[in-house]
Amino acid sequence: MVATHIFDDRHVGAPGIAHGGAVATVLDDLYGFLLYLVGEPAVTRQLVVEYLAPVLIGTTYRLEARVDRREGRKLFVNAKVTALDGRTAATSTAVFVTVDAEHFAQARPSSAI
């Protein structure tokens, strides 16, 4: 999975720099699109982000994610966030667990409150 993303003022953590939580959210979402291509619903079990350089507001980043391997229901994935000048700003690894559709139906709040 390859995409581009520009962090904007909604993502500010420090002046001119994206908040680490926003970077992690974008990576988790990127993994979600990757899992769509895998063709099975899955949930995040573990998400690790290594911040290597500031992620700058208003800069275009190339996002890449791939599946490393599968062990039963577990999918091991990795990603990186790279500025167009080639500087890697963040890398990530994650583990997702495949689930059936019923898993998501259980998460709906009851209307009988």
Domain extents for the chain?
A: 2-105
pLDDT digit string, tens, across residues 43-52: 999 999 999 9
Exposed/middle/buried for 94, CB within 10 Å: 0-12, 13-18, 19+?
A: buried
Helix (H, G, I), strand (E, B) or coil at 38: helix
| CATH number of this structure's domain 2-105 | 3.10.129.10
User: 34, 43, 99, 41: which is closest to 63 by C-alpha?
Assistant: 34
Torsion of CA 85, 20, 51, 82, to 10 degrees: -20
pLDDT digit string, tens, across residues 76-99: 999 999 999 999 999 999 999 999
